[in-house]
Amino acid sequence: MKNVLLILLATCLTTTFLFAQATFNTIDSVDINNINAAVLVHGDMWWNPVLETAHCEFPNGTQKNCNFASSIWMSGYDGAGNLHIAAQTYRQSGNDYWPGPLDASDTLTYSTSANWAKIWKVYRTDIQYFQSLTTHTTANTPTAILTWPGKGNVNAQGNAGAPLTITTDMAPFIDLNGNGIYEPLLGEYPDVRGDEALWWVFSDNGPTHNQSNGNPLGVEVHASSFAYNRGTLIDNVVYYEYTFTNKSVNNYSNMRVAQWDDIDLGYPYDDYIGYDSMWRMGIAYNGTDCDGCSAGYPPTSYGLNPPQSAITMIVLPGDVGTSFVPAGSFTNYQNDASSTGNPNNDTVCNHYMRSILYNGKTIASCFSSGTLPCGGYDSTSIINYVYPGDPSDSTQWSECICGNNPGNRRFVLSSNDFTLNAGSSAKVVVAQIVADSVGGCPIANFSKIKIVADTAWGNYYHPPAPLPPNAIKNLAQTNTINIYPNPTHNVLYLENSVQNTGEESITFYNIIGQKLNVAITRSGNKKVADISALPNGLYLVEYRNSNIQLTTKFIKD
C-alpha cells in the first residue's frame, strides 16, 4: 500500500496541472471467475487511483483483496549505452505510460491518448451469439464486436465514442477473407482467449514521461487480459498478455521486462514474500496464520487461514518450444527512503529489475559457518532471487524461516536480458493466481499455489475449448468427474457421480499441451486409464461431456 500522504499530494497536484497533462482514470476488470481484477489505461492494474483502494477481489464480491497495485516495467540500453526505461508505480510523481499507440514519429499526443483511453471488453457468449447469426448488421452485432479496434474497422470507437481511424495492426481479430481489414459485418470477430477478455494499448513516449524521469524507449504495448469460468482451479487465474513493439530507431540490448507489484494480501502490514524458480513465480503469503488479527480484524482482512497470491511468468523472451529460460531476477524493497527503499529515479528502478539494490549493491548471500542467508547484502556475491525457499523447509532461505518482521511488501519480478531491435516485437505473458485457505507462517508452504500455477500454465499452452453459451453459469453444478488416486503410478481412475448420456471424450496432455496416447477402458461411470508407459511427472487430463468440461492435473510417480 502506498503512502497515503503522497497520494493526497499527488491528487492535489494533478488537479492543478494543465488539462493537457490530466491523467485518464478509465478502469475495467476481468470479473467472470473467483478474481475481480481491475486494469487501467496507464499501464497499471489492481487498484482504483480515484478511490485510492485496492481492486483485486478474491473471492469475487467479498471486498477482500489479494493484491493492491501493479504495473509492467521495462528497460534497455541503446547503441551508445544510454539507459531507456518505463516504470509506472502509483502516479504520485507522474506517468511513464499513456493510453494509445505511437505515431510514425514515435510519439503520442494528448489528443490521441484521450481518444484511446478505453478498455475494450468482450465475452465469449457475445462471440458465440454473433457466430450464430446468418446475417450481420449494425443493429444485431454486439457493440463490443462492432466497435472492436481492429485494423481498418470503420465502426471502431474509442473513449466516449470517439471514432478511430486505424491503419496499423491493433486488436487481434479473425480475418475470414484474409484482407487484413476487420469487417464485423462480414462475420469477423475479435480473436481472444477466455470466457471474458479485455484489450487496451499504451505507450511510453506520450505527453509526459515523469514517473521514472528516464529516457523513454518508444515502445508500444498491446495488452490483453482474460479469464475462464469453469468450476475448476482455472477460476483462480487471470491472464495478462503483453506484446511490446519497438517503434523507435534504437536497437535495445540487455532489455528487460518486469512485473512490479505492491502485493498487499488482505491486511497489508503482515505479509511475507517468496519465490519459486520452476514456475518463475513471485508469491505473497501471510507472516502469521491470521491476516489482520494484529490490527483488530479490519473488514478487508482474511482472518484465519488466509490465501496465497502470486504472479507467474508463463511466457518470456527466450522461451523456445519446451525450453523455458529462467526469470532474470526477483527483488524486493521496503516502503521507506532507505538504501533498500522506494525507487525515486530511473537508475534505481533499473537496479531493481537486475537484482541490484537502491545503493548499487548486489543482492548477496550471507552464508557463513552454516547460517541461513537471512537478508544480508554486500557487493561481492550475487543472488538473483530473494527468498527462493519454501517456508516449510528449515534448510531453505525464506522470510518465515528467517523470522523477519511481517510488513508491507513489494517486489519486482523480471525477465532475463534479451534484444529488442527497432521495429521488432517481444511477448510476455503473466498470470495472477490465488490459492485459497493456505494459512500463514509458521504453517505455510507453497504446495497449493504451485498446483494453481500448474493449472495456469497447462491451460495457457492447451486452452480449454469454448463452452456452449448456456454452460458457463451452470458448469459448477454439472461438473461431476473425479480422478484418483493422485499421485498415481500405473493406473488412473476417472469416475462420474451421475450417469452421463452425452458423448464423452477424455484426452491426456503433458504440461506444455502435447497430446498423449493413453489407453482407456470403460465400465459404467468408471474409466480406467493405463498410464504405466508415461514418464514420471506432471500431466493434464481433459474430460468433456455435453456442457461439462474439466481440465485437471495429476502426478505420475
Residue 467 in any domain: the answer is no
Statement to judge: residues 300 and 395 lie in one domain: yes
Statement to judge: residues 211 and 157 lie in one domain: yes
pLDDT at 378: 52
Better-scored residue on pLDDT, 362 or 152: 152
Bridge partners of residue 243, in order along the sequence: 222, 427
Rounded mean pLDDT of 388-416? 92
Residue 427 in any domain: the answer is no
Residue 460 in any domain: the answer is no
Element (H, E) at 272: strand 271-276
Bridge partners of residue 491, in order along the sequence: 530
pLDDT at 366: 42
pLDDT band at 434 (very low <50, low <70, confident <90, very high): very high
How far apart CA 516 and CA 528 sit, in angstroms, is 15
pLDDT at 497: 56
Angle at alpha carbon of residue 68, lines to 64 and 73, rounded to 5°: 155
Statement to judge: residues 244 and 322 lie in one domain: no
Statement to judge: residues 287 and 227 lie in one domain: no
pLDDT at 364: 58
How far apart CA 243 and CA 61 sit, in angstroms, is 31
Residue 231 in any domain: the answer is yes
- Which of 257, 279, 302 represents a domain boundary (last residue)? 257
Q: What confidence tens digit (pLDDT) does each residue in 23-70 have?
A: 999 999 999 999 999 999 999 999 999 999 999 999 999 999 999 999
Beta carbons within 8 Å of 321's beta carbon, 6+ residues apart: none
Statement to judge: residues 253 and 292 lie in one domain: no
Q: What confidence tens digit (pLDDT) does each residue in 444-461 have?
A: 999 999 999 999 999 999
Candidates 268, 295, 263; CA nearest to 281 is 263
Q: What confidence tens digit (pLDDT) does each residue in 262-283 have?
A: 999 999 999 999 999 999 999 9
pLDDT at 16: 33
Structural domains counted in the chain = 3
Residue 136 in any domain: the answer is yes
Q: Which three cell numbers stand for residue 129?
A: 451469439
Statement to judge: residues 151 and 76 lie in one domain: yes
Statement to judge: residues 205 and 315 lie in one domain: no
Residue 235 in any domain: the answer is yes
Statement to judge: residues 279 and 248 lie in one domain: no
Statement to judge: residues 120 and 244 lie in one domain: yes
pLDDT at 224: 98
Asked whether residue 372 carries a pLDDT value surpassing 60, the answer given is no
Rounded mean pLDDT of 1-13? 39
149 touches 156 (CB < 8 A): yes
Compute φ and ψ for 190, nearest 5 degrees. -60, 140
Q: How many residues does the chain have?
A: 557
Asked whether residue 377 carries a pLDDT value surpassing 60, the answer given is no
Instruction: Label residue 370 left, alpha or beta by phi (over 0 means left) and psi (-120 to 50 means alpha).
Output: left
Better-scored residue on pLDDT, 556 or 165: 165
Q: Which residue has the cell 545503493?
A: 359
pLDDT at 380: 54
Instruction: State what percent of residues in the chain have pLDDT above 90.
Output: 67
Statement to judge: residues 147 and 249 lie in one domain: yes
Instruction: Give the start-end residues of each E strand in 398-443.
Output: 410-414, 418-420, 425-435
- Rounded to the nearest angstrom, the gap between the alpha carbon of residue 40 and the centroid of all alpha carbons in its chain is 14
pLDDT at 373: 60
Amino acid at 418: F
Domain that holds residue 322: 266-418+434-445
How far apart CA 375 and CA 365 sit, in angstroms, is 7
Residue 450 in any domain: the answer is no
Task: Name the pTM for this structure.
Answer: 0.82
Better-scored residue on pLDDT, 356 or 117: 117
- Which of 257, 281, 298 represents a domain boundary (last residue)? 257
Statement to judge: residues 252 and 136 lie in one domain: yes
Statement to judge: residues 392 and 286 lie in one domain: yes
Say which range, 57-61, 114-118, 362-366, has the weakest mean pLDDT.
362-366
CATH of residue 546's domain is 2.60.40.10
Bridge partners of residue 540, in order along the sequence: 509, 553
Residue 379 in any domain: the answer is yes
